[in-house]
Amino acid sequence: MKYNRLNEIELYLSQKQYASIEDLLEKFNISLQTLRRVLKELQARGIITKVYGGVLFKRGNSAQPDLSQPAVHSTINIEEKIKIGELAGSLVENNDIIFIDSGSTAHYIVDFLADKENITVVTHSLDVLNAVSKYPSIHCLALGGAYHHESRSYYVDTDTMRYLFNKSFIATVGLSLPRGLTNMNFYEAAVKTKVIANSIKNYVLCDHTKFNVTAFNNFASLEKIEGVITDECPPDNYLNYFKRNNIQLFY
């Protein structure tokens, strides 16, 4: 029975990718104590990652082509990236049209959109496209162009971009008070700048290592953003700046 339960829950999670504790208790009609034992064993095997209120399936499919595998840097600080993705996902509302950027963190948002209604995701990121493909309920518009291996994204002719967004979730290489939001790639920066101009609310995905970092290419000032989503509380000078400029902080 224990073996069957483990396999049933593993199969369910492999199909859903994410499930809340309440979902698992209802689906398998087991006690919380039993579920905790099962999840502990699945975590020990490296099959799942625990997140606040639920679990994520993390075992990859070795049969997938190399192009669909995340870049090496996507596997660094994965729990922090998942938490940032969860926070970002909580800001998405039913019927939203959102832009999700490229980068090693942004695609984790998708796993937290499955239970929302009538969501449209626009992206130029291969990792986001792969993530969305698991959820038929999520509408997706892919911004095409020449594929760039390093960023795992497509270079987009921003002159042809006419989409308007309720919310955008933007990745950044650096965030600093004097220099704003910066990155290392001109083509990626052009997409970010265009999206920020076309979005009602803009949120920056920025783990703690990005604060006080300045890359050579500025794509937006901090005044352009609605909020910062990160994994740790930033230094006091950032807290004060965010408060003065009505920038929301989520961590």
Q: What is the mean pLDDT of residues 145-167?
A: 91
Report field, pTM of the whole predicted structure over 0.85: no
Q: Are strands 174-176 and 180-183 parallel, antiparallel or unpaired?
A: antiparallel
Stretch 227-234: mean pLDDT? 96
Contact between residue 206 and residue 233 where contact means Cβ atoms under 8 Å apart: no
Ordered DSSP codes for 14-35: HHHSEEEHHHHHHHHT--HHHH
pLDDT one-digit tens code per residue, 115-151:
899 999 999 999 999 999 989 999 999 998 899 887 8
Whether residue 71 has pLDDT greater than 50: no
Question: Rounded to an integer, what distance in angstroms lies between the CA atom of residue 71 and that of residue 75?
Answer: 8
Residue 177 makes CB contacts below 8 A (sequence gap 6+) with: 222, 237, 238, 241
**CB of 165 closer than 8 Å to CB of 122:** yes
In single-letter form, the type of residue at position 219 comes to: F
Dihedral pair phi/psi, residue 242, rounded to 5°: -60, -40
Q: Which CA distances in Å does 251 have to 86, 116, 214?
A: 10, 22, 21
Cα separation, 86 vs 65, in Å, equals 27
pLDDT-based confidence at residue 59 (cuts at 50, 70, 90): low
- Is there a contact between 248 and 229 (Cβ–Cβ < 8 Å)? no
Q: For residue 75, which phi and psi values (nearest 5 degrees)? A: -95, 0
